[in-house]
Structure 1
Amino acid sequence: MNEPKRHHFLPVFYLKNWCNEESGKLVEFSTPFMNEIKPRRVHPKGTGYIDKLYAIEGISGELSYAVEKNFLSPVDNKAATACQALLSGGPVHPQDRRAWAHFIMTLLLRAPREINIIKDILRNLESGTVSGLMNFVIRHAPKEFHSEAGQAFEELKKSAVSRSIEHIIEIMSNEDIVEKIVGMDWDVIDLSTSTHELLTSDRPVMVERGEQTGGETAISLPLSPKKLFVAVTNRLLIRQLKSQNAKNISQAVNTEIIENADKLAYGSSDRQLTFIKNRFGKRKRASVIEENLNKALKISEDLGTYLSSIDDNSMREKFLLAAKTYKDKKESGKHEFRN
């Protein structure tokens, strides 16, 4: 079976909105050599991906591609329908609204930077923590049980690797966040009168919450060169945005998108090449999601280290008592062992 090798962190349906109708291509901006921005025309299938990005080390075969094939592909398929509804200006049905909210949630987490942090967290929790527990048991349990304990923990490690796939999907489909996005006020801002087309990048979702929004939350995402998706917790923010000049909105959005780009940016043409060169990745800031992931990574690292360093005499005595009870029951023909 041919499994998907190209794992798109920017789905094809989304990038198609910047494609030239005749060529079917959009312009990709990247820094392949010496940090110099280079534009090139590409098909949306040929960009916005990394080979085996969502594959988990230690897993082979179909399970390794479960995140891309069984989770992200269905999410993207439903979001493609929702995107067309948003662009058309027609009503967005409840199922499309939920699909789009789910898609935004995945965009916040599926980029290479976030995925690599998630993988590090899972490796620490599943492997480092298991190793820490094994070291803890080995130090405190009688030597006669070391071999059996070692075998048990090796099996636990193998199953932990497989569970990593489930954990990534759970993180990307956080229902609490999806529900909050669904419940926000939505709008699509038409910027057709602006002389500057909207750009997008490998970090296309902008989340603002602070002084600029009066403590409210605002999520925005370029949908196409002329349309901007906005979701807010207070409708007043949309009215304030619509009161601004379209050119000013486009410039502000493009500045945020390009300054926060990681490796790639996109446009329908290369007319804004100078603008992109002057701003590409100049003010990268960690998203709220990335900040929380880094905190979780530090906790997972500390947990494994802590477990490996524990030396507890009272725990050692409990292990000895449990081992004696097990041995006595085994000798008497009773194979059931309870803690």
Structure 2
Amino acid sequence: MIWLRAKAGVTAQQSFRHHYIPKFYTKRWSGEDYKLTEFSRPYKELISKRVLPVQTGFADRLYELKGAPASAAQQVEDEFMSPVDSDAALASEMLENADPRINTDSKWRSAWSQFLITLLMRTPKDLTVLAQIIEEDWARDFPRFEQKYSASRKPDDPATLQEFIDQKDPDYIARWTIDEARALMSHDQLGQQLNNLRWFVLTTTSDAPKFLTSDRPVVMSDTLTADNSYLYLPIGPRLLFVAVTNAKAEQRIKTWPSAKLVDETNRLVVLQASKYVYGADSIAAEFVEGHYGKPGPKSFMERLRERRNERAKLRDTA
């Protein structure tokens, strides 16, 4: 199957409230009151409350990093994220209903893969880490660029490269962060790796605990290419999307007791939460209390930052 980039579409009116956890996704935990339970800890105590999907998992002007052009930032939401989420909503229904198109139609398979990628890097904290990555890369490369600038500098040009940048593009880090975020969310190689995995959806038994989710809901291995690679995403209180590399891994996961599978998935989903944990009800409050804010797996962006720093060190010592 091929990997497809999301196509940009212009909307008539730009939006400013950006849901980094899409409403269609959190809606899957909603009850008859159309609400789900939101767990958070703004201060010391864990708080749980019933909220509508539209009331949680958002940040106003999320992509308008200080210095980034407002129009460019809004394009990320209106021309990129919105179509991604719309297609993913349809793809999630196909997964839930075992619609064969999710395996045979590259459009829908790629739509779901791209949605998974965006979930790995779209929270405010993830964008902050991305900005730090760019700043660190720039700081390492700056001396080399400074030498090139000095060698080619014209008499009327500013004396230093930094002065030149400050005059021409003072907000370059913010602009680069937005551009890089969009490029990463359309990463061809990662998208193709996800497309190539074995996909299935597990439905847990009624006597097992319910799945939780969070604003960092994707649980995955360090790589997607090793034999034991995996990716989990709860897609409802009783549904878990799973992607693995081979039939042996699929069979192993399918034979796990439901309670064990839910407990381990929930533990990781809560540990890696950035700000919010979600459930269909408040029954899991004690479980969330026991894991929320504790040291957990590094986020995808944090791991990316470590890998880039390691490569830079190897390059510098070569």
1:238 aligns with 2:237: no
In structure 2, do the counterparts of structure 1 residues 240 and 288 end up closer, same or farther at CA, with 3 Å as the change threshold? same
Report the secondary structure of 1:66's partner residue: helix
Query: Aligned partners of 1:159, 1:247: CA distance in 2, in Å?
Result: 50
Per-residue deviation, residues 84-124 of structure 1 (Å, max 9, x unmatched): 11111222233111100111111111122221111223345
TM-score, normalization by structure 1 = 0.77
Counterpart pick for 1:273 among 265, 281, 285: 285
Per-residue deviation, residues 5-47 of structure 1 (Å, max 9, x unmatched): 2222211110000001x3111000000222x111011111111
Counterpart pick for 2:84 among 70, 75, 78: 75
TM-score, normalization by structure 2 = 0.82
Name the aligned partner's letter for residue 178 of structure 2.
Answer: I
Q: Which residue of 2 aligns with 1:33?
A: 43
1:97 aligns with 2:106: no
Q: RMSD across aligned C-alpha pairs, in angstroms?
A: 3.2
Aligned partners of 1:207 and 1:219 also within 8 Å: yes
Aligned partners of 1:5 and 1:52 also within 8 Å: yes
Q: Which residue of 1 aligns with 2:210?
A: 197
Per-residue deviation, residues 202-248 of structure 1 (Å, max 9, x unmatched): 111011259xx984210010000000000001121111111122122
Name the aligned partner's letter for residue 206 of structure 1.
Answer: V
Unaligned runs of 5+ in 1: 307-339
Task: Tell me the number of residue pairs that the alignment of Structure 1 and Structure 2 aligns.
Answer: 298
Report the secondary structure of 2:283's partner residue: coil
Query: 4-13 or 291-300: which moved more?
Result: 291-300
Q: Which residue of 2 aligns with 1:13?
A: 24
Name which one, 1 or 2, has greater alpha-carbon Rg: 1
Q: Which residue of 1 aligns with 2:9?
A: none
Q: Which residue of 1 aligns with 2:93?
A: 84
More helix by share: 1
Query: 221-230 or 139-148: which moved more?
Result: 139-148
Name the aligned partner's letter for residue 168 of structure 1.
Answer: A
1:89-238 equivalence runs, <5 A? 89-91=98-100, 92=102, 93-123=105-135, 136=147, 144-147=155-158, 152-154=164-166, 156-157=168-169, 160=172, 162-208=175-221, 215-238=227-250
Aligned partners of 1:12 and 1:45 also within 8 Å: yes
**How big is the shift at 1:48?**
0.8
**How big is the shift at 1:281?**
2.6
Q: Which residue of 1 aligns with 2:8?
A: none
Q: Which residue of 2 aligns with 1:324?
A: none
Aligned partners of 1:218 and 1:231 also within 8 Å: yes
**How big is the shift at 1:278?**
1.2
Query: Aligned partners of 1:299, 1:5: CA distance in 2, in Å?
Result: 37
Unaligned runs of 5+ in 2: 1-11
**How big is the shift at 1:166?**
2.6
Q: Which residue of 1 aligns with 2:33?
A: 23
1:52 aligns with 2:52: no
In structure 2, do the counterparts of structure 1 residues 94 and 207 end up closer, same or farther at CA, with 3 Å as the change threshold? same
